Structure 1
Amino acid sequence: MKLKFTKMHGAGNDFIVIDAINQNINFTPTQWKHLADRRFGIGADQILVVEQPVSADVDFRYRIYNADGGEVEQCGNGSRAFVRFVTDKKLTNKNAIRVETMSGIIEPQLQSDGSICVNMGAPILDASKVPFDTFGLNAKTQADDLSWPLSINEKTVFVSAVSMGNPHAVQVVEDSETYPVLLDGPLIEHHPRFPKRVNAGFMQVINPQHIRLRVFERGAGETLACGTGACAAVVTGILRGLLTSPVRVSMHGGELSIDWQGPDHPVFLSGPAVTVFDGEIEI
């Protein structure tokens, strides 16, 4: 079969976006992995699939597959690409839509300046729901944040466990550029205390409203940007008293803006979503 797709990116975090409303899509994990392969397929960090909603009160269903072929719960940068795609392809005439994901409802909105803001919902701070196994660990308290010791690579690092619909382990580092992200990232991702694996975030605080961030993503490796990772990092920084909303997040692929007013409030993620090209591939 021939598959029509669109290649997109959000701050360098790149996606294959597929209309599964007007195409019959039923792929295996191996096929998703092949599509994401940068040498033998199209190439992407994640594959985003647009489907008809299951619930009556939402506009679309949004499914996400990582580069390793596994389906995951959430993708913040992808949600912005999603709303750009359904708007450009005239699948909706709304500027604000409700989208059903594996982890719940999100509400992306196309702004008048062309940027896209997404209500990502409130962060989950209960470690057991991230999920993260804290049995036998003693947390370090900093203001309203708990950071937990992890033993990796013959050293101990302290991470804050946050879920933005998907699990994140955030640590504050002195210099994100020189930190051994590619060494520590896989060890944190696969650490046995995270039963569903985890996205590892490495945050450098520049000032109370600006951070630099690198994220080693679960199932994708280090990416040029990570929307949910930016949200989790800012939540951690605000809870620790290091940051004040809104916060500019500088990543290798570009910049995002995160606004969070504290516990029980939703996190708002803003940034670009760019179409690179449309294509067709034989499956």
Structure 2
Amino acid sequence: MTATSLPYVKMNGAGNDFIILRVDAPGFDLSPDTVRRLCGRDTGPGCDQLIVIEPPTNPGETAFMRVWNADGGKVETCGNALRCVGWLLLEASGQESAVIGTLGGPTVARRAEGTRIEVDMGTPRLAWHQIPLAEEMDTRGIELQVGPVEAPVIHTPGAVSMGNPHVVFFTDRLDDDFVRGAGSLIEHHPLFPEGVNVGFAHVLSPDHIRLRVWERGAGLTLACGTGACAALVAAHRRGLTGRSATLTLEGGALTIRWDEASDHVFMTGPVAFDGTGTVTI
């Protein structure tokens, strides 16, 4: 196979960093080995996720965004990447909004104050088969725990799909070792046939949550946009917060709002430009 060089843009959203490529035809694909090489901090430019912007595949879309995690696996969507891709599309077009297609469904990105971007993440999917779970459960608090049966360390997380599967534990244990250990244990639990992103949320007040996320296929990252959306939805369903809150993550703060009228979740947060380069495919 002939090697191809492609220019990339390196960006981050609240510390969650991406290599972003742009191609001229839909259906672009990469081998898991290539993705791991490019995402590796020692073997490529290094990133949490690799993003490819393709031409739109459906009427009304501005572009299509394809996402791979650092382990080489293709995933449905990524909230922080949607903000970065949205910013690129809006800067290129001069428009105030863009419709971005993803494997998890279309998303609308809009300009907010400064360099912040608001993304309409759509309606949260709350039925057990939409997460998906391997068996029927009440997704406000599913039957899952870590630790001894009689004294679990964490238990009964909420389950939400924001186009990708999440569980959210409510705990004040947010240290690296705990999040890494519990997250890696739960990510491939048999209850989740497609794997799962694992959130650890400490509710500080009805409008403020401290959050850490173990991302499926990426591990411990500085921020997770869909994870922040899932945490707010799960917290509100438990009566722990209102319908909007500031989510403080390691890489920065995101504002999440679950609109009652539309049932859509809106995420607003920063984007940052880290540089450019060329990769060989």
Q: Which of 141, 145, 155 is 1:147 aligned to?
A: 141
Equivalences for residues 1-283 of structure 1 within 5 A: 1-21=4-24, 26-88=29-91, 90=92, 92-135=93-136, 146-152=140-146, 154-155=148-149, 156=152, 157-177=155-175, 180-262=178-260, 265-283=263-281
Does the residue aligned with 1:98 lie in a helix, a strand or coil? strand
CA distance in 2 between counterparts of 1:272 and 1:52 reads: 25
Deviation at 1:264, TM superposition (A): 6.0
CA distance in 2 between counterparts of 1:235 and 1:65 reads: 25
Question: Is the contact between residue 72 and residue 102 of structure 1 (CA under 8 Å) also seen in structure 2?
Answer: yes
Could you tell me which residue of structure 2 aligns to residue 142 of structure 1? Answer: none
Deviation at 1:111, TM superposition (A): 2.1
Deviation at 1:19, TM superposition (A): 0.9
CA distance in 1 between counterparts of 2:115 and 2:194 reads: 35
Structure 1 unmatched ranges of 5 or more: 140-144
Deviation at 1:6, TM superposition (A): 0.7
Deviation at 1:113, TM superposition (A): 2.4
Taking structure 1 as reference, are residues 227 and 246 closer, same or farther at Cα in structure 2, changes over 3 Å only? same
Q: Quick one: which amino acid aligns to residue 238 of structure 2?
A: R
Q: Quick one: which amino acid aligns to residue 10 of structure 1?
A: G
**Cα shift readout 1:14-59 (whole Å, capped 9, x = no counterpart):** 0011111389954212111111011111111111110001112211
Query: Is 193-202 or 92-101 further displaced after alignment?
Result: 92-101
Q: Quick one: which amino acid aligns to residue 31 of structure 1?
A: T
Taking structure 1 as reference, are residues 154 and 3 closer, same or farther at Cα in structure 2, changes over 3 Å only? farther
Question: Is the contact between residue 51 and residue 61 of structure 1 (CA under 8 Å) also seen in structure 2?
Answer: yes
Identity across the alignment (%)? 38
**Cα shift readout 1:61-113 (whole Å, capped 9, x = no counterpart):** 1111100111100100010010122234x2x3322011111011100112242
Question: Is the contact between residue 173 and residue 179 of structure 1 (CA under 8 Å) also seen in structure 2?
Answer: no
Does the residue aligned with 2:37 lie in a helix, a strand or coil? helix
**Cα shift readout 1:100-127 (whole Å, capped 9, x = no counterpart):** 1101110011224221000000100001
TM-score, reference length from structure 2: 0.91
Taking structure 1 as reference, are residues 77 and 23 closer, same or farther at Cα in structure 2, changes over 3 Å only? same
CA distance in 2 between counterparts of 1:163 and 1:84 reads: 24
Taking structure 1 as reference, are residues 245 and 43 closer, same or farther at Cα in structure 2, changes over 3 Å only? same
**Cα shift readout 1:222-253 (whole Å, capped 9, x = no counterpart):** 11000000000000111111101320000111
CA distance in 1 between counterparts of 2:48 and 2:127 reads: 28
TM-score, reference length from structure 1: 0.91
Query: Is 149-158 or 75-84 further displaced after alignment?
Result: 149-158
CA distance in 1 between counterparts of 2:236 and 2:274 reads: 34
Q: Quick one: which amino acid aligns to residue 130 of structure 2?
A: K
Query: Is 273-282 or 24-33 further displaced after alignment?
Result: 24-33
CA distance in 1 between counterparts of 2:232 and 2:26 reads: 38
Q: Quick one: which amino acid aligns to residue 18 of structure 1?
A: L
Deviation at 1:258, TM superposition (A): 0.2
CA distance in 2 between counterparts of 1:119 and 1:11 reads: 17
CA distance in 1 between counterparts of 2:94 and 2:217 reads: 34
Kindly tell me the number of residue pairs found equivalent between the two proteins. Answer: 274
Cα RMSD (Å): 2.1
Q: Quick one: which amino acid aligns to residue 141 of structure 2?
A: S
